Amino acid sequence: MFMIVATLAAIAGASPSGSASAQAASLTVTIGGGESGYAVNLFLPDTVSVVEGTTLTWRNPWFEGHQVAFLGGTTAPAPGTPGASAPTNAGQLVDYQGVGFLSSGTLRRNDTFQARFPKAGIYQYLCLTHRGPPAQSGTVVVVPAGTPGISTQAQVDAAAAKTYADTLATLKAEAATLAKNAVQRVPNADGTATWRVLVTGGKVGTSDVQQFFPPTLAIAAGDTVVWEGRTPVPHPVAFLGGARALPAGANPQTPVAAPAAGYAGVGYVNTGSFGAGRPATTASMKFAAAGSYPFICALHFDQGMGGVVTVAASQAAPAPGKTGNAGLVERNGDTPLAVTLGLLGAAIMVVATARRVTGRPPRRD
């Protein structure tokens, strides 16, 4: 019995121009998706065709927040405007006909948003959280009943699955490239060192790699670590001092400075937000005492974004395999390479500087 039902469903899914009963009066669009370290920021699929009167449901399956917003001739509220991420019609099912601002507000994991489209037309929308450029955007094509080519849920789901898989693959390829970035250990006059070019995040189109590169680093007490944000997406680095969560009420993007002598694993500290095109493109933190200090991105830890800084007691007793390389460049923090690779590090810094100069304007968080 189950097989017969499944087969009939497959036939219906393959016949988009079938009877009116096969045309969806309701349809669900998936918003993005992801897995640990990766956020696919797309409407899946980005275009659907529905008949007049259809109720569309958008559903977010992943931790990255999204906002479904129809501008309808209005200007989108500027990022950071109070209330800009709140729903315009909380709890109401709205009939949308293309005029005025309609927004879901921020949709988090498993949240849904619905709107009904009573009138034929082409309705474009975007995610205010990922407004780009490029913007995460979508289109609802509404046609009179009986028009062929209406999207079935099976077609929509298949298109969504394919685009999701393809996008995830591009994000993983970008992550593999970012993992090859050199980490540079620059000796300081006082015998300590500054560790540079720890990259936070990566980007392909509207989608994000939510990882630190490298995720682990071994340094010595007195050393300073510098993180560089090469995309506009903020990834504030936070140490929780052994706590399991941010302090109650803490704004994840607000800096909380470490002691002047350096962080020693006590209490909550946060670099605040930084990234390409932001007031700060880098953030740094000094470490005062030996220990192993896990850190998180205060915005994306629920997507698996974090790392560990391991601090040895002194420069004379560096952590095995990570330091003690006389200031040479290390590739990905693992294998000491020849001093000539210092040129590689310099080249990366030049590229990074060029990217900063041409960086995009700040985006919404």
Q: Which residues bind Cu ion (CB under 5 A)?
A: 235, 297, 299-300, 305
Nearest-approach distance from CB 64 to Cu ion, in angstroms: 10
Q: Which is nearer to Cu ion, 102 or 285 (CB)?
A: 285
* Number of residues written out for the chain: 365
Q: Give CA 347 to chain center in angstroms.
A: 27
Q: 252 with 210: CB under 8 angstroms? A: no
Which residues share a beta bridge with 251? none
Q: Which is nearer to Cu ion, 182 or 297 (CB)?
A: 297
Q: Which is nearer to Cu ion, 131 or 300 (CB)?
A: 300
Residue 6: how many other CB atoms lie within 10 Å? 9
- CA angle 81–85–89, rounded 5-degree value: 120
* Half-sphere exposure in the Cβ direction for 300 (13 Å, CA): 28
What's the CA gap between 40 and 38, in Å, rounded? 7
What's the CA gap between 24 and 27, in Å, rounded? 6
Nearest-approach distance from CB 237 to Cu ion, in angstroms: 9
Q: Which is nearer to Cu ion, 265 or 306 (CB)?
A: 306
Nearest-approach distance from CB 16 to Cu ion, in angstroms: 40
Which residues share a beta bridge with 336? 330
Nearest-approach distance from CB 257 to Cu ion, in angstroms: 20
Q: Which is nearer to Cu ion, 44 or 233 (CB)?
A: 233
Nearest-approach distance from CB 299 to Cu ion, in angstroms: 5
